[in-house]
Amino acid sequence: MNVIRNFNNTNESNIRIVDAAYDYRLLLSRGYGQRYALDMVASRYSLNREKKLLLYRCVHSMQYIVNVIPKIACTLEPQGALIIDFYNILLTVLCMLENCDVYLCDDCIVRDLRGYKSRSQDYTYLLKAYDLILNAISQLKPLKIIVVADKNFSHSAIQIERFNKYIVERGLTGYSILSPTPDRDSIEISRSEHAIVASSDSVVVENSYKVFPLTTVITNQLNKEFTINFADLFGTPCSTCYEHAM
């Protein structure tokens, strides 16, 4: 598998981001703070804002990886519940449909760099994104689905109501929470109910009971290539997730 697919079209840029990723992980693993390590690496390799964000989102310390990889589960426990970190997942799926670059990060989770703001073209792909999300989670046969959404996101109440309607139409059971602190609520519910969380937020992933790599599954179902495969670069074993994604 190629680690990098046509990243900025220059070999020098490819080599620089790979070297920067190795150095950044080393610094994090030795206990340096994220901001200090990122600034140091960005200065050393002349990284722009986008590449700094890429490292921040996709490269983690070895301690984080050792903690997270055993939590990744591609099937639910019998009668298990599934928590969806709604906008975290939805915006990445929309990014895939809009042909943005997506990256397989070193923790086997697919992420993007589009940011948290909605875009005008999102509404063109919204129903397709809902279908992709529900198609993927329907195969898990969850006992219930708990959708946690940021209440401060534009039109969140309307979007959640529509998504709930699709859940019911699929014959699934669930409920939604509009929260000012969706990350914290996702973690707390996951721990209290021993529920699996679908999220790509590193804090949620690290602190939840278990994690379903929903964005990774959908990326593979769409046959979309990763712009950079950090998992392959660092040798992180993600084969279980790939098997369940096809």
pLDDT digits (tens, 9 = 90+) for 91-128: 999 999 999 999 999 999 999 998 777 777 787 899 99
Give CA–CA dist 71/85, Å, rounded.
16
- Is there a domain that residue 4 lies in? no
53 and 172 fall within a common domain: no
| Neighbouring residues of 7: CB distance < 8 A, sequence distance ≥ 6 | 13, 14, 17, 227, 228
Q: What is the pLDDT of residue 242?
A: 54
Number of domains within the chain: 2
Residue 100 sits in a domain of what CATH number? Answer: 3.40.50
Q: What domain range includes position 31?
A: 11-59
Q: What is the pLDDT of residue 238?
A: 85
On the question of pLDDT at 244 being above 50, the answer is no
- Is there a domain that residue 86 lies in? yes
Tokens representing residue 196 in the block: 């699996």
What strands, in cross-sheet order, belong to the sheet with 196-198? 174-179, 144-150, 81-85, 196-198, 210-211
Q: What is the pLDDT of residue 56?
A: 97
On the question of pLDDT at 164 being above 90, the answer is yes
- Is there a domain that residue 5 lies in? no
Average pLDDT value over all residues in the chain = 89
Q: What is the pLDDT of residue 245?
A: 47
- Is there a domain that residue 135 lies in? yes
pLDDT digits (tens, 9 = 90+) for 74-101: 877 766 899 999 999 999 999 999 999 9
Per-residue b or e along 56-76, where b marks 16 or more CB atoms closer than 10 Å to that residue's CB:
bbbbbbeebbeebbebbbbeb
On the question of pLDDT at 6 being above 70, the answer is no
Q: What is the pLDDT of residue 246?
A: 42
pTM value is 0.90
- Is there a domain that residue 64 lies in? no
Distance of CA 175 to the CA centre of its chain: 22
119 and 146 fall within a common domain: yes
Q: Give 227's pLDDT tier (boundaries 50, 70, 90).
A: very high
- Is there a domain that residue 1 lies in? no
pLDDT digits (tens, 9 = 90+) for 207-219: 999 999 999 999 9
Q: Are 94 and 141 in contact (CB under 8 A)?
A: no
pLDDT digits (tens, 9 = 90+) for 167-195: 999 999 999 999 999 999 999 999 999 99
Least reliable range by pLDDT among 3-12, 44-53, 199-208: 3-12
105 and 206 fall within a common domain: yes
Strand segments, DSSP code E, in the chain are: 81-85, 102-104, 110-112, 144-150, 174-179, 196-198, 210-211, 228-229
39 and 78 fall within a common domain: no
Q: Are 108 and 216 in contact (CB under 8 A)?
A: yes
